[in-house]
């Protein structure tokens, strides 16, 4: 990671609890412009909670999050951030809307209240649909598409407003195995060609490890963070063995001692 790159997300000392139990403890994470960061963790590791905190869907209890250099609580430029969630969570497959209409809804916030789509916006929508390879499906109802295609529609909806950062929460849940690889190839293109910073949360590290530039592991604590190079190498070997891939470990320049056993 080059030091000259602008930090896009700065998570500092974040702790979050539901009722009596901490879901996240003392999380630090900095994502820089152009990164493709994968956060991996088992179910219940606090991945979704972390996403929701970043997106402002949950109130920060302890610690701070800065987005594009601004305090998350005061952040207003949400159109800079695209979000793709687990499709199954929030989507009624019988909804009578075309691919075009769904993607166009991604411009809602950017256009603002009481504003209507102009020709340039319509072209933008078609461009986004094209970039996920669904142009010929634009007038189909979204319910008629396969799971993988639907998830591409949601990517198109997220990128139509030209976000600088795209956050994906388990985007391949419900996508059949043979389409997962091409889905990640498309993400890779977005990162490399469009220069969109990606933060991907998943429990499935196998498929992403050769695409992402950094990996962090989350299980209440964010592991492999601020580690010494020795520890990093050790953990890297373990991880590589475990997943069968070469993995880059997320590095940060904080001076903290962290859970995970690293002492600096």
Partner 1 sequence: MIEGILQYEFLQNAFFTGMIIGIVAPLIGVFIVVRRLSLIADALSHVTLAGIAFSLFLEKKFMPTSGLNPMYMGMAFSVAGSLFIEKLRSVYKHYQELAIPIILSSGIGIGVIFISLADGFNTDLFSYLFGSVSAVSRLDLWTILAISIIVIVLIVLLYKELFLLSFDEEHAKASGIATKSIHFIFIVMVALVIAGSMRIVGILLVSSLMTLPVAASIRIAKGFKQTILYSVLFGEASVLGGLILSYYMDLAPGGTIVMLAVVILAGTILFKKLSMRSY
Q: How far is the CB of 74 from partner 1 (least distance, A)?
A: 12
Instruction: Indicate the helix (H) or strand (E) that contains 184.
Output: helix 177-192
Number of helices and strands in the chain (H, E) = 8, 10
Q: How far is the CB of 57 from partner 1 (least distance, A)?
A: 6
90 part of the interface to partner 1, by CB under 8 A: yes
184 part of the interface to partner 1, by CB under 8 A: no
Which window, 53-61, 127-135, 171-179, 235-243, contacts partner 1 (CB under 8 A)?
53-61
Find the Cα–Cα–Cα–Cα dihedral 173, 177, 182, 185, rounded to 10°.
60
Q: Which one of 15, 22, 98, 207 is in contact with partner 1 (CB under 8 A)? A: 98
In terms of phi and psi (left: phi > 0; alpha: psi -120 to 50; beta: otherwise), the region of 257 is: beta
139 part of the interface to partner 1, by CB under 8 A: yes
Q: Which one of 74, 94, 177, 253 is in contact with partner 1 (CB under 8 A)? A: 94
107 part of the interface to partner 1, by CB under 8 A: yes
- What pairing do the DSSP bridges indicate for beta strands 165-169 and 197-202? parallel
Q: Which residues pair with 216 in a beta bridge?
A: 39
Q: Which one of 16, 39, 48, 91 is in contact with partner 1 (CB under 8 A)? A: 91
145 part of the interface to partner 1, by CB under 8 A: no
111 part of the interface to partner 1, by CB under 8 A: yes
100 part of the interface to partner 1, by CB under 8 A: yes
What is the spatial distance between Cα 206 and Cα 208, in angstroms, rounded to a whole number?
A: 6
Which window, 97-105, 202-210, 228-236, 248-256, contacts partner 1 (CB under 8 A)?
97-105
Q: Which one of 89, 93, 181, 233 is in contact with partner 1 (CB under 8 A)? A: 89
- Beta strands in 144-213, from DSSP E residues, in sequence order: 165-169, 197-202
**HSE on the CB side for 218, CA within 13 Å?**
29
Q: How far is the CB of 111 from partner 1 (least distance, A)?
A: 7
Query: Residues for the chain: how many in total?
Result: 264
56 part of the interface to partner 1, by CB under 8 A: yes
97 part of the interface to partner 1, by CB under 8 A: yes
53 part of the interface to partner 1, by CB under 8 A: no
What is the spatial distance between Cα 170 and Cα 167, in angstroms, rounded to a whole number?
A: 10
240 part of the interface to partner 1, by CB under 8 A: no
Contacting positions for partner 1 (CB under 8 A)? 55-57, 76, 78-79, 83, 85, 89-92, 94-98, 100-102, 105-109, 111, 113-115, 139-141, 157
């Amino acid at each position: 990671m080059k030091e000259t790159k602008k930090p896009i997300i700065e998570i500092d000392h974040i702790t979050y609890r539901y009722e009596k139990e901490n879901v996240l403890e003392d999380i630090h994470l900095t994502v820089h412009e152009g990164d493709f960061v994968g956060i991996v963790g088992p179910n219940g590791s606090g991945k979704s909670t972390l996403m929701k905190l970043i997106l402002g869907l949950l109130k920060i209890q302890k610690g701070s999050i800065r987005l594009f250099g601004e305090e998350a609580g005061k952040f207003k430029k949400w159109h800079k951030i695209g979000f793709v969630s687990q499709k199954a969570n929030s989507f009624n497959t019988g909804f009578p809307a075309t691919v075009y209409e769904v993607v166009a809804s991604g411009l809602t916030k950017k256009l603002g209240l009481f504003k209507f789509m102009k020709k340039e916006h319509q072209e933008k929508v078609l461009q986004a649909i094209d970039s996920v390879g669904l142009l010929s499906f634009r007038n189909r109802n979204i319910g008629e598409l396969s799971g993988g295609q639907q998830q591409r529609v949601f990517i198109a909806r997220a990128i139509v407003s030209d976000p600088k950062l795209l956050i994906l929460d388990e985007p391949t849940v419900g996508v059949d195995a043979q389409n997962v690889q091409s889905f990640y190839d498309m993400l890779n293109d977005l990162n490399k060609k469009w220069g969109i910073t990606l933060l991907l949360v998943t429990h499935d590290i196998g498929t992403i490890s050769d695409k992402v530039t950094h990996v962090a592991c989350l299980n209440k604590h964010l592991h492999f963070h601020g580690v010494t190079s020795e520890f990093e190498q050790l953990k890297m070997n373990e991880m590589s063995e475990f997943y069968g891939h070469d993995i880059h470990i997320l590095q940060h320049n904080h001076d903290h001692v962290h859970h995970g056993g690293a002492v600096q």
